[in-house]
């Protein structure tokens, strides 16, 4: 049966063909609508996930400001506290230790450098060695760089855990953090 023979056929066949074409068009339209709606649903889910992530960041920011760094540091001076540079170094060490411990890490060692190349500009540098999980390391870095006083991560070396398959595997981190101390005049 050819296309020309269908059109030469009686009105019943033409109506059936028209109904078939109409039903096919409706089905294609319905599929197109479902495809667009599924795309919109995926976009809505993506927007919802991003809003949730932003809420987590906002909540973490408020916790980090009031938690590890203390309320004085959340709204305080951008400079390290202390009457002397030695006290400012101790303040920096306490700040880094608190950030690591709040994130669930363990500080193994730390060293304050009071007489480094930037010390004449009032900068105090701390080198710390600690163990921590990967997600918690992100939290520590955010807490240190986003809080008060202004701290700068100068160096970061991360050693992956020996047992890669373990869920709670901890990384070894060597970090260099500096902050500026403002001498009282």
Euclidean distance between CA atoms 65 and 91, whole angstroms? 16
Q: Within a domain: residue 73?
A: no
Euclidean distance between CA atoms 185 and 168, whole angstroms? 49
**Stretch 122-127: mean pLDDT:** 90
57 and 87 housed in the same domain: no
Euclidean distance between CA atoms 176 and 129, whole angstroms? 9
- Cβ distance 88 to 82 under 8 Å? yes
pLDDT for the residue 165: 64
- Cβ distance 118 to 178 under 8 Å? yes
* Per-residue model confidence as pLDDT tens digits over 35-70: 999 999 999 998 888 888 888 777 766 665 554 444
**Stretch 113-141: mean pLDDT:** 86
Pick from 2-6, 109-113, 120-124, 162-166 the range whose average pLDDT is largest: 109-113
**Does 96 score more than 80 pLDDT?**
yes
Nearest Cα residue to 124 out of 83, 181, 53:
181
Q: Within a domain: residue 42?
A: yes
**Does 2 score more than 80 pLDDT?**
no
pLDDT for the residue 78: 85
**Stretch 77-91: mean pLDDT:** 86
Q: Within a domain: residue 70?
A: no
Q: Within a domain: residue 108?
A: yes
Q: Within a domain: residue 164?
A: yes
| Pick from 47-56, 98-107, 124-133: least confident | 47-56
Higher pLDDT, 68 or 23: 23
Q: Within a domain: residue 125?
A: yes
**Stretch 93-118: mean pLDDT:** 90
15 and 105 housed in the same domain: no
**Domain enclosing residue 109, as ranges:** 78-180
Euclidean distance between CA atoms 152 and 150, whole angstroms? 7
Strands laid side by side in the 151-159 sheet: 106-113, 123-132, 171-180, 151-159
- Which residue stretches of the chain are H helix? 3-8, 11-66, 70-75, 85-102, 134-146
Euclidean distance between CA atoms 124 and 94, whole angstroms? 13
40 and 84 housed in the same domain: no
Share of the chain above pLDDT 90, in %: 45
99 and 175 housed in the same domain: yes
Q: Could you tell me the pTM of the whole model?
A: 0.57
Phi, psi angle pair for 152, to nearest 5°? -125, 130
Beta bridge partners of 22: none
Q: Within a domain: residue 146?
A: yes
pLDDT for the residue 69: 44
Number of domains in the chain: 2
**Does 109 score more than 90 pLDDT?**
yes
55 and 89 housed in the same domain: no
């Amino acid at each position: 049966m050819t296309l020309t023979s269908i059109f030469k056929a009686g009105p019943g066949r033409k109506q059936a063909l028209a109904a078939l074409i109409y039903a096919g068009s409706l089905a294609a339209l319905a599929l197109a609508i479902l495809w667009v709606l599924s795309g919109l649903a995926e976009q809505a889910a993506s927007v919802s996930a991003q809003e949730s992530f932003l809420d987590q960041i906002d909540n973490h920011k408020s916790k980090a400001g009031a938690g590890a760094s203390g309320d004085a540091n959340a709204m305080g001076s951008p400079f390290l506290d202390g009457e002397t540079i030695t006290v400012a170094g101790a303040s920096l060490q306490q700040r880094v230790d608190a950030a690591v411990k709040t994130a669930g890490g363990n500080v193994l060692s730390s060293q304050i450098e009071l007489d480094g190349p930037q010390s004449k500009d009032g900068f105090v540098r701390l080198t710390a060695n600690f163990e921590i999980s990967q997600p918690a390391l992100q939290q520590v870095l955010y807490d240190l760089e986003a809080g008060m006083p202004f701290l700068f991560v100068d160096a970061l070396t991360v050693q992956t855990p020996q047992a890669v398959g373990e869920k709670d595997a901890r990384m070894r981190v060597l970090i260099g953090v500096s902050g500026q101390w403002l001498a009282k005049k």
